[in-house]
Amino acid sequence: MAPTPSSSSSKSNHPHVLKTPQSKHRINFSSTRTPNPNPSPNPNYTIKEIPQDHPVEVISRIRDYPERKEKPTSILQVNPENNTLRVRADIGYRDFSFDGVSFSEEEDLDSFYKKFVESRINGVKLGAKCTIMMYGPTGSGKSHTMFGCSKQPGIVYRSLKGILGEGEEGREGGEGEKRQLGTFVQVTVLEIYNEEIYDLLSTNGGGGIGIGWPKSGSGYKVRLEVMGKKAKNATFISGNEAGKISKEIQKVEKRRIIKSTLCNERSSRSHCMIILDVPTVGGRLMLVDMAGSENIDQAGQSGFEAKMQTAKINQGNIALKRVVESIANGDSHVPFRDSKLTMLLQDSFEDDKSKILMILCASPDPKEIHKTICTLEYGAKAKCIVRGPHTPIKDKLGAEDSSVGILGSRIAAMDQFIYKLQMENKLREKERNDAHKQLRKKEEEVAVLRALIEEKGSQASEEEINLKVNERTEILKLQLEKKLEECQRMAEEFVEMERRRMEEKILQQQQEVEMLRRRLQEIEFELCCSRDENGPRDIDGCSFARRLLGVYADEDPGMVKSMDLDMGDQEAFVRDVRFVSTSADQSSIIGTQSLSSYPHVSTLNQVVDHGDKVCLSTVFEEEEVEEEEEHKNKVEDEEVEKEVIEVTRVVDVSSPGINFVAGSLISSPLKLEALKDGSEDRHSVSGPLNEFEIVKDRHSDSGPVNEYENVKDRHSVSGPANEYENVKDSASSRRLRIQNIFTLCGNNRELCQQFRTPIPAKRRVADTDPQTSPIMTVGKDSTQKISNKGNSPLQKNVPVIECGKNLSDMMALASKENYNPSVKITDSQIEVHVKWEASKGNSGKFITTLKVLKDATLADLRKLIEIYLAADNQAFTFLVLGDPTGAPVPKEKESTVQVIKLPICNYQSHGYLACLRPAKETQDSNHLPSTPIPLTPLENKLPLTPMPCLSHKVSDLSPKLAAHLNSTPFTTLQRH
């Protein structure tokens, strides 16, 4: 048998690769064609190089799906040599080696035939025997390849043409050249269905022969019996014209039993065998189109008959598998007779001159991968078949050598197989060891987990839980108690520590108090000594010392000593300021800002009320004035009740306005009396011209009227003049003070009398102590009546203040209550008419008339004018109008210019004219601001006022007392 090109090429170029899992099929493999990676364990086995009869060639044909627009991704790949087919899957791939691989997409039937079949057909023409089997699952294209389609004829028709040649019927001559002369063929067409052989060419279907036979399109089919290895009495057609025979075959092809299944619309339910004998050469071609190898479920067959049918089909396929395996295994018995198909194919396997070409039809569709792999495995097995000793056709001469070679091949294959098994065994053993290790590891983990579970299970017992909870509770309880004890101990320690600290502090304070008491006693002692030395001037020294003692006793050690007005810590504020206009019968409340613009203020009371505010008040008082003996003036019997319209100015002592008043008065010297209410202290600085009270009320909630009811004490600092030191006893000095006050108030005094509002008796200060208490009670929105018997000089319209070098002289002049300067002018006195210079802002208004000594200077006159203009807060300079230049007198030269240098007043009968030019700067260090600036503490302000007399007084004290007083704000005050 002529070898096929593919087989010859495969033998020479493509060694077989063991791919099938069933290694037993490889025992017949030729060692020469399979490289042995491992030398044979048995070196005694030497493979003899003998030509191996490889009767089965396997070719894979992969169908196409031209009708599909979207073709599935192929799972099949072929190597460049077209002999290895790789099936790719998700988990890997698998290679199958064949004698050839053809993709119908690339190679149509014509190409396929020429490439793989034509050579076989040529052999048949020469007398060879060849069997071409179509094997594969249903729908894989077996029938398509065998019989073809309308466009392309299949292998059957091409083979006929190949054997008989091409040529038209009836044509002679030239066509004979193409046609094989003398060659004819006998064609038998059999169908194996349900393990029965039917003669498809028999036309006796209409007779009784065909009874019970399966029907075809043209009638019943003739069933044949198998006799030997052939169908007995099979009908055949003979001829030398391929066309006629092909037509006949086409007819009987339609008689095949087909059925529509899920896998194939025209599924062949039978095996079809076309046998072409070439009698002239003894050649024979068997073309076998096997039924699809599918399982019943896949075919979707239902019913007993259909299942039996599928089972019968599979029976032929299974039998063929067994035959192939038996032949490949070299079994002594090949089960050809298991099926009609294998019975008819027995010669094909056993005849040495017979060759088998198995065409594996497969689908590239991933859905068919399982069937594709099974088909390829089956083909791989078939490819391993070698012609065994059981082959009936033996060459007697070469039988011995042949059997030796076959045995050697089998031994080599078995060695290889054993080695492979050993390798696989080692691999499996390693895998098993690894698995065993993993298993041990898992078992250990399980054991640990189990132990944990058991432990937890044991812990989970209720008693143990309760026990542990109780233990934990006890521990926590102990810890809590311990913490509580610790906290308690710490608290006690803290309390004890604080107590000790407080005790120490109290002790320290007591010591300090004791020290201060002792110091005060010393001071008192020194004060008494000083009083003894200085006479009655210090009669109040003891009380002053007591006062100091009280002050220090009340104060905390280390505190800054104050004027005992207790106002240093108070915020400065102005609550109410009232002025009473002299030109109206009704009081009008005027803002503080307008103070300077109302020069005719009759009374000016500055009262500080509310809380701890200190009140400064100027007081007009009218009291019953008795005619004093020493002056023997007229007795004023007429009791005059005068109302004092209070101008209440609620200020803080920090107000510079108050300080200004105080400072000015002190420097004048006036008398400033400071009164402290809450502490039952009152300090006053009194001068000959006015009297100011500084009142501190610590209980001001009830209103200013009641704020001064409990005044018990009073301290005053007197001016430098000794004749005013004892105010209490000196009626003249009191009178002088009153006169000065009235003088300052000027003509407005009368208006004050118009307000006659009775005041409670208790507020009549004059009643309580008319001699010593020129202090009035003041309050917001209240008036005070002070009775005054006798004629009041306040009714005089022209207030005159005498001024001279010595203020005492002036005071003496003013000592008379009914002093009228316009009437009584001595020779040593002159009158000075004061007026403003006419200017844009000033109309040259007349101010007042003052009476001064002849030798008085402008500086003396300035003091009086400044006092008069205190409310106006208007700075000025003197103009010497008589001077040709008319230039103002510099302030520093005022002390050198006498008043008599002033020009004579033309519009007065006598006197001089003092013309004042308002200074541009209305506020300087000597003047009050027009606005009530918050007052600074008096004690801080007083030292700023030079009081040489006081300094002198202090210096007259003992060194200790002087040092002490110098270090305190009281140094500016002197108690009367």
Ligand X SMILES: Nc1ncnc2c1ncn2[C@@H]1O[C@H](COP(=O)(O)OP(=O)(O)OP(=O)(O)O)[C@@H](O)[C@H]1O
The reply, when asked if residue 141 is annotated as ligand binding, is yes
Helices and strands per DSSP (H, E), number in the chain:
24, 33
Where are any strands of DSSP class E within 547-627?
A: 614-618
- Window contacting ligand X (CB under 6 A); options: 142-150, 473-481, 626-634, 667-675: 142-150
Q: What Å distances lie between residue 410 and 178, 355, 386, 401, CA to CA? A: 47, 21, 10, 14
Pull the structure tokens for residue 926. Answer: 């000597």
> Of the two residues 132 and 291, which places its CB atom closer to ligand X in the complex?
291
Instruction: Concatenate the DSSP letters of all residues of 53-105 into one string.
Output: ---EEEEEEE---TT-SSPPPP-EEE-TTS-EEEEEETTEEEEEE-SEEEETT
283 is a contact residue toward ligand X (CB under 6 A): no
- Please name the helix (run of DSSP H) or strand (run of DSSP E) that holds residue 362, with its range, or none: strand 354-362
Q: Give the shortest CB-147-to-ligand X separation in angstroms.
A: 8
- Give strand ranges (E) for 347-457: 354-362
Pairing of strands 846-853, 829-836: antiparallel
If the CB atoms of residues 103 and 755 are measured against ligand X, the closer one turns out to be 103
Closest approach of ligand X to the CB of residue 266, in Å: 6
Q: Residue 364 or 541: which CB sits closer to ligand X?
A: 364
743 appears as a binding residue in the annotation:
no
Pattern 564-603, ligand X, x by CB under 6 A: ----------------------------------------
Contact 22, 416 (CB under 8 A): no
Beta strands in 632-758 (DSSP E): 639-645, 655, 671-676, 683-686, 691-696, 715-718
Q: Does 314 bind ligand X (CB under 6 A)?
A: no
Closer residue to ligand X (CB): 63 or 975: 63
CB 373 to ligand X: min, Å: 16
Please state the closest distance from residue 439 (CB atom) to ligand X, in A.
48
Nearer to ligand X, 364 or 663 (CB): 364
Smallest gap from Cβ 169 to ligand X, in A, equals: 28
Report the residue number, 324 or 360, with the smaller CB distance to ligand X.
360
Query: Contact with ligand X (CB under 6 A): which of 10, 20, 131, 140?
Result: 140
Only segment of 61-69, 424-432, 522-530, 551-559 that touches ligand X (CB under 6 A):
61-69
Residue number, 102 or 732, with CB nearest to ligand X: 102
Using the minimum distance from each CB to ligand X, give the nearer residue, 62 or 794.
62
Q: Is 104 in the site for ligand X (CB under 6 A)?
A: yes
Contact 959, 680 (CB under 8 A): no
Determine if 142 is a binding residue for ligand X (CB under 6 A): yes
Q: Which residue bears the tokens 């507020």?
A: 763
Cα torsion for 622, 623, 628, 631, to the nearest 10°? 0
Q: Which of 57, 64, 636, 817 is close enough to bind ligand X by CB under 6 A?
A: 64
Choice from 39, 66, 170, 959 touching ligand X (CB under 6 A): 66
- Nearest distance in Å: CB 216, ligand X: 16
- Is residue 818 within the footprint of ligand X (CB under 6 A)? no
Q: Minimum distance between the CB of residue 189 and ligand X, rounded to whole angstroms?
A: 16
Max Cα distance, the chain (Å) = 201
Tell me the closest approach of the beta carbon of residue 152 to ligand X, in angstroms: 9
How near is the Cβ of 121 to ligand X at its closest, in Å?
A: 20
Interface with ligand X (CB under 6 A), residue total: 20
Q: How far is the CB of 434 from ligand X (least distance, A)?
A: 45
CA angle, corner 100, sides to 94 and 106, nearest 5? 95
Q: Which is nearer to ligand X, 266 or 756 (CB)?
A: 266
- Residue 136 marked ligand-binding: yes
Name the phi and psi angles at 452, rounded to 5: -60, -40
Q: Is 144 in the site for ligand X (CB under 6 A)?
A: yes
402 is in an annotated binding site: no
309 binds ligand X (CB under 6 A): no
Cα 406 to its chain centre, rounded Å, is: 86
Helix (H, G, I), strand (E, B) or coil at 360: strand
Instruction: Answer yes or no: are the C-beta atoms of 39 and 426 closer than 8 Å.
Output: no
CA dist., res. 929 & res. 870, Å (int): 10
Task: Give residue 96's identity as a one-letter amino acid code.
Answer: F
Cis peptide before 669 (omega within 30 of 0): yes
**Do residues 689 and 744 make contact, with C-beta atoms less than 8 angstroms apart?**
yes
> Which is nearer to ligand X, 361 or 689 (by Cβ)?
361
Residues contacting 506, CB < 8 A, separation 6+ = none
Question: Which of 66, 174 has the CB closer to ligand X?
Answer: 66
Residue 729 CB contacts under 8 Å (≥ 6 apart), including other chains: none
Give the DSSP letter of residue 114: I
State how far the Cα of 917 lies from the Cα of 469, in Å rounded to an integer: 103
Q: Cβ of residue 333: shortest distance to ligand X, in angstroms?
A: 29
3-state DSSP call for residue 696?
Answer: strand
How far apart CA 125 and CA 898 sit, in angstroms, is 177
- In terms of Cα–Cα distance, which of 491, 673, 578 is closest to 932? 578
**Least Å distance between CB 183 and ligand X?**
30
Asked if 63 is part of the footprint of ligand X (rule: CB under 6 A), the reply reads yes
363 binds ligand X (CB under 6 A): no
Q: Which is nearer to ligand X, 318 or 812 (CB)?
A: 318
Choosing from 55, 100, 139, 205, the residue that interacts with ligand X (CB under 6 A) is 139
Tell me which of 38, 51, 81, 149 binds ligand X, using CB under 6 A: 149
Kindly identify the residues of this chain, within the stretch 693-752, that bind ligand X according to CB under 6 A. none
Range 915-941 burial, b when 16+ CB lie within 10 A, else e: bbbbeeebeeeebbbbebbbbbbbbbb
| In 647-793, alpha helices (H) | 656-667, 731-745, 749-753, 765-768
Site membership for ligand X, residue 191 (CB under 6 A): no
Are the beta carbons of 179 and 240 closer than 8 angstroms? yes
Contacts by 508-512, CB closer than 8 A, 24 or more apart? 508/557, 509/556, 509/557, 512/557, 512/558
Based on CB atoms, which residue is closest to ligand X, 63 or 642? 63
Distance between CA atoms of 258 and 264, rounded to whole angstroms?
Answer: 10
Contact 829, 845 (CB under 8 A): no
Rounded distance between C-alpha atoms, residue 601 and residue 688, angstroms: 20
Q: Is 142 annotated as a binding residue?
A: yes
Residues 252-281 that bind ligand X (CB under 6 A): 264, 266-268
Residue 60 within binding range of ligand X, rule CB under 6 A: no
Helix/strand/coil for 643 = strand
Give me the least distance between CB of 149 and ligand X, in Å please. 5
> What is the number of residues in the chain?
976
For residue 790, state whether it binds ligand X (rule: CB under 6 A): no
Rg (CA), the chain: 76
> Which range of residues in 62-70, 275-283, 661-669, 763-771 is near ligand X by CB under 6 A?
62-70
Q: Which is nearer to ligand X, 266 or 518 (CB)?
A: 266
Shortest Å distance, C-beta 198 to ligand X: 17
Among 167, 210, 292, 804, binds ligand X (CB under 6 A): 292
> In the chain, what is the straight-line distance between the N-terminal and C-terminal CA atoms, in Å?
167
Q: Quick check: 141 binds ligand X (CB under 6 A)?
A: yes
Among residues 4, 40, 143, 968, which is the contact residue for ligand X, using CB under 6 A? 143
Under the binding rule (CB under 6 A), the answer on residue 635 touching ligand X is no
List, in sequence order, every residue forming a beta bridge with 193; answer none if it has no partner.
196
For Cα atoms 591, 593, 598, give the angle at the middle one, nearest 5 degrees. 80
> Is 891 marked within a binding site?
no
Instruction: Choose between 292 and 599: whose C-beta lies nearer to ligand X.
Output: 292
**From the annotation, which residues make up the binding site for ATP?**
136-143
**From the annotation, which residues make up the binding site?**
136-143
Q: Applying CB under 6 A, which residues contact ligand X?
A: 63-64, 66, 104, 136, 138-144, 149, 264, 266-268, 291-292, 361
